[in-house]
Structure 1
Amino acid sequence: MDAGDAGDTPGSHALAWLATRGWQAFAFQREVWDAVAQGRSGMLHATTGSGKTYAVWLGMLDALLRRHPPGRGAEPLRVIWLTPMRALASDTTKALTAPLAELAPNWTIGLRTGDTPSAERARQDRRMPTVLVTTPESLTLMLTREHAREELSGVEYVVIDEWHELVGSKRGVQAQLALARLRGFHPGLVTWGLSATLGNLESAMHVLCGPHPEPAPRLVQGKIDKTLIIDTLIPPDPGKYSWAGHLGARMQQPVVEEIERSGTTLVFTNVRSQAEVWYQLLLEARPQWAGHIALHHGSLDRATREWVEQGLKEGTLRAVVATSSLDLGVDFLPVERVLQIGSAKGVARMMQRAGRSGHAPGRPSRVTLVPTNTMEIIEAAAARRAAQAGRVEQRTPPDKPLDVLVQHIVTVALGGGFRPEDLREEVTSAWSYRKLTRAEFEWALAFCERGGESLGAYPEYHRIVRGADGVYRVKDSGVARRHRLGVGTIVSDAAIQVKYLTGANIGTMEEGFIARLKPGDHFFFAGRLLEFVRVRDMAAYVRKATRKKGTVPTWQGSKMALSTELSDAVLEMMQRAAQGDFFEPELQAARPMLLTQQRLSQIPTPDTLLVEAYQSREGQHLYIYPFAGRNVHLGLASLLAWRLARVQANTFSISINDYGFELVSAAPFDIAPVLDQSLFSATELMHDVLASLNSSELAQRRFREIARVAGLISTGYPGQPKSARQLQASSALFYEVFRKYDAGNLLLSQAENEVLSQELELSRLGETLQRMRSRRLVFAPLRHPSPMSLPLMVERFREQLTTETLAARLERILKDIETEP
Structure 2
Amino acid sequence: MVSMGAFSLLCRELREKLAEVGVERETEIQEKAIPLILEGRSVLLIAPAGWGKTEAAVLPVLHMMREVKEAGVKLLYITPLRSLNRDLLNRVARYAHALGFRVGVRHGDTSSSEREAQARHPPDVLITTPESLQAILPGRLMRAALRAVRWVVVDEVHEFLESKRGSQLAVLLERVREVCGGFQVIGLSATIGSPESVAEFLAGGGAKPEVVSLDIGKRVEIRVEYHEPSGEDASSAEKVGVNPWLLARARRIVELAKASGRVLVFTNTRSTAELLSRVIAELSPDVEFGTHHSSLSRDIRVEVESSLKSGFLLGVVCTSSLQLGIDIGELELVVQYGSPRTVTNLLQRVGRAGHRAWKKSSGVVLAETPLDIAESLAIVRLAKRGWLEKPRIPEKPLDVLAVQLAGLTLDGRRSLREVYDVVRRAYPYRKLTVDELKEVVKALGWSEQHGRLVAKRGVWRYYYENLSVISEREEVEVVDDRGQIVGYMDPRFVALYLSEGEAVVFQGKVWIVAEISRDKVKLAPSREHMGEIPWWEGETIPVPKEVADEVFEVLREASEEPGDYARAAESLARYEAVDYQAALSLIKLARGTLQALGVLPSRDIMVAEKVGDSIAFYYPLGRRGAEALGRAAAFKAASLVGRPVGLRISPYGFVIEGVEELSPREALPSPGEFEEALSSSLRYTPLLKLAVSEVAGRLGAREEAEKLLDLSPEQLAAAIDGTALLKQAIGDIQHKYLDAGVAKEVLERIHDGSIRLRVAERDEPTPLFTEVSSRFPEVVRPSSISSLPASGSLRDRVVAELSRSPLSAYELSRRLGAPLKDVLDLLVQLKDEGAVRDVLVPDAMARIWVLRKKGIESARVAVSELIELRSKIRADRISSVSSLIRALDMLGAVSPRRLLKMTGSSSEDFREALQRALESRRAVLVHTLAGGQLILLSEQFSSYVMGVKPFKMSKLSEVTAELLKIMGAATAEELARRLGESTRSVRRSLAELQALGHAVCYGREWKYRRRVESWEWRPHGLLLLLLKSGPKTLGYLARVCNASRDEVLEALESTRQVVKLIVRGRGVRRVLYCLRSHFNAILEARERSRPR
- SS of alignment partner, residue 521 of structure 2: strand
Structural mapping, 1:531-550, within 5 Å: 531-536=512-517, 538-545=519-526, 547-550=528-531
* Counterparts of 1:33 and 1:12, CA distance in 2: 15
Whether the 8 Å contact between 1:333 and 1:360 is mirrored in structure 2 is no
Q: After TM superposition, give the deviation of residue 530 of structure 1 in Å.
A: 2.9
Pick aligned residue for 1:396 from 388, 392, 397: 392
Paired residue secondary structure (2:401):
helix
Retained in 2: the 8 A contact 1:156–1:186?
yes
| 1:709 has 2:698 as partner | yes
Q: Deviation per CA, 1:560-612, whole angstroms, max 9, x where unpaired?
A: 22122321221221121132265233434422232222322246353443524
| Aligned residue number for residue 278 of structure 2 | 280
Deviation at 1:436, TM superposition (A): 1.5
Q: Which has the larger radius of gyration?
A: 2
Match in the other structure for 1:341: 337
Indicate how the Cα distance of structure 1 residues 43 and 666 shifts in structure 2: closer, same or farther if over 3 A, else same.
Answer: closer
**Structure 1 residues 628 and 12, CA gap change in structure 2 (3 angstroms):** farther
Q: Residues 369, 603 of structure 1: CA spacing in aligned structure 2 closer, same or farther, 3 A cutoff?
A: farther
- 2:687 paired residue number: 698
Q: Structure 2: how far apart are the matches of 1:245 and 1:343?
A: 18
Q: Write the mapping of 1:316-715 to structure 2, written as runs, cut at 5 A.
A: 316-415=312-411, 418-448=414-444, 450=446, 476=458, 480-481=460-461, 483-500=463-480, 502-516=482-496, 517-536=498-517, 538-545=519-526, 547-580=528-561, 582=568, 583=572, 584=576, 585=578, 586-602=582-598, 604-615=600-611, 619-644=612-637, 646=639, 652-665=645-658, 667-673=660-666, 679=668, 681-695=670-684, 697-713=686-702
| More deviation, 792-801/692-701 | 792-801
- 1:760 paired residue number: 738
Match of 2:841 in 1: 804
Q: CA deviation at 1:539?
A: 2.5
Unmatched segments (≥5 aa) in structure 2: 231-241, 563-567, 778-807, 812-837, 847-1092
Looking at structure 1, the residues matched to 682 and 23 of structure 2 have their Cα atoms a distance apart, in angstroms, of: 63
Could you tell me how far 1:154 is from its partner in structure 2? Answer: 0.8
The residue identity in structure 1 corresponding to 2:226 is: I
> How far apart are residue 743 of structure 1 and its match?
4.7
Q: Distance in 2 between matches of 1:470 and 1:263?
A: 65
Q: Deviations over 1:264-300 (max 9, x none)?
A: 11111111111100000100111123xx211111111
User: Distance between the aligned counterparts of 1:168 and 1:796, measured in 2?
Assistant: 25
The answer (yes or no) to whether the contact 1:738–1:745 under 8 Å persists in 2 is: no
1:158 paired with 2:152, answer yes
| Aligned equivalent of 2:259, options 249, 257, 261 | 261
Work out which of the residue numbers 184, 189, 193 in structure 2 matches 1:195.
189
1:98 lines up with 2:94 in the alignment = yes
Q: Which amino acid aligns with 2:119?
A: D
Distance 1:7 1:745 in 2: 56
Contact residue 561 and residue 631 of structure 1 kept, 8 A: yes
Tell me by how many angstroms 1:52 deviates.
1.5
Aligned partners of 1:347 and 1:386 also within 8 Å: yes
Q: How far off its partner does 1:419 sit?
A: 4.0
Give, as a single letter, the amino acid of the residue that structure 2 aligns with 1:95: R
How much does 1:803 deviate? Answer: 4.9
Q: Deviations over 1:121-146 (max 9, x none)?
A: 33323322111111111111112424
User: Structure 2 vs 1, CA of residues 375 and 27 (structure 1 numbering), >3 Å: closer, same or farther?
Assistant: closer
In 1, the alpha carbon distance for the partners of 2:8 and 2:769 equals 68
The normalised TM-score by structure 2 is 0.64
Structure 1 position 788 matched with structure 2 position 789: no
Q: Which moved more, 1:550-559 or 1:247-256?
A: 247-256
Q: What is the distance in 2 between the residues matched to 1:607 and 1:741?
A: 41
Contact kept in structure 2, 1:265 and 1:319, CA below 8 Å: yes
Whether contact under 8 Å (2:720, 2:726) holds in the other structure is no
- SS for the counterpart of 2:663 is coil
Comparing 399-408 with 48-57, which one deviates more in the overlay? 48-57
Cα offsets for 1:144-189 (capped at 9, x unmatched): 4244431211111111111111111100111101100011112231
The equivalent residue for 1:270 is 268
Identify which range, 339-348 or 750-759, moves more after superposition.
750-759
Change (3 A) 1:29 1:75: farther
Which residue in the other structure is 1:172 paired with? 166
Q: Which residue of 1 aligns with 2:139?
A: 145
CA distance 1:185–1:551, change in 2 (3 Å): same
Q: Structure 1, residues 444-470: CA drift from partner, whole Å, max 9, x if none?
A: 2344454x8xxxxxxxxxxxx99x997
The 10-residue stretch of structure 1 (514-523 or 18-27) with the greater mean CA deviation from structure 2: 18-27
Distance in structure 1 (CA, Å) of the matches to 2:7 and 2:338: 54
- CA contact under 8 A between 1:312 and 1:334: conserved in structure 2? no
- Give unpaired runs (5+ residues) of structure 1: 69-73, 239-243, 453-464, 715-725, 810-821
SS at match of 1:335: coil
The CA deviation at 1:346 is 0.2
Residue 459 of structure 1 is matched in structure 2 by none
Change (3 A) 1:56 1:556: same
CA contact (8 A) 1:332 1:359 kept: no
- Structure ranking higher on relative contact order (CA contacts 8 Å, 6+ apart): 1
Q: Aligned equivalents of 1:555 and 1:297: distance in 2?
A: 12
> Shift of residue 783 of structure 1?
4.2
TM-score between both structures, scaled by the size of structure 1: 0.84
Q: Deviation per CA, 1:192-213, whole angstroms, max 9, x where unpaired? A: 1111221111011101111x53
1:202-281 alignment, distance < 5 Å? 202-210=196-204, 212-214=205-207, 216-222=208-214, 227-236=219-228, 247-281=245-279
Distance (whole Å) between structure 2 residues aligned to residue 691 and residue 470 of structure 1: 38
- 2:747 maps to amino acid: L
**Does the Cα contact within 8 Å between 1:237 and 1:589 map onto a contact in 2?**
no
**Which amino acid letter does the alignment assign opposite residue 441 of structure 2?**
L
**Residues 97 and 806 of structure 1: CA distance in aligned 2, closer, same or farther (over 3 Å):** same
Change (3 A) 1:605 1:176: same
Distance 1:7 1:253 in 2: 46
Task: Tell me which amino acid in the other structure corresponds to 1:175.
Answer: L
Aligned partner of residue 295 in structure 2, secondary structure: coil
| Counterpart-to-counterpart distance in 2, 1:490 and 1:788 | 37
Amino acid of the residue matched to residue 223 of structure 2?
D
- Alpha carbons 2:558, 2:586 under 8 Å: kept: no
Q: Which SS does the other structure have where 1:248 is aligned?
A: helix
Letter in 2 for 1:566: V
Which residue is 1:29 aligned to?
30
Whole-Å separation in 2 of the counterparts to 1:295 and 1:228: 25
Amino acid at match of 1:164: H
- Report which stretch shifted further, 603-612 or 40-49: 603-612
Matched AA of 1:433: Y
Residue 671 and residue 262 in structure 1: after superposition, are their counterparts in 2 closer, same or farther (change >3 A)? same
The separation in 1 between residues aligned to 2:23 and 2:534, in whole angstroms, is 50
Q: How far apart are the structure 1 equivalents of 2:52 and 2:265?
A: 25
Counterpart of 1:107 in 2: which secondary structure? coil
Please say if residues 270 and 536 of structure 2, whose CA atoms lie closer than 8 Å, have aligned partners that are also in contact.
yes
RMSD: 3.5
Question: What one-letter code is carried by the residue in structure 2 that aligns with 1:330?
Answer: I
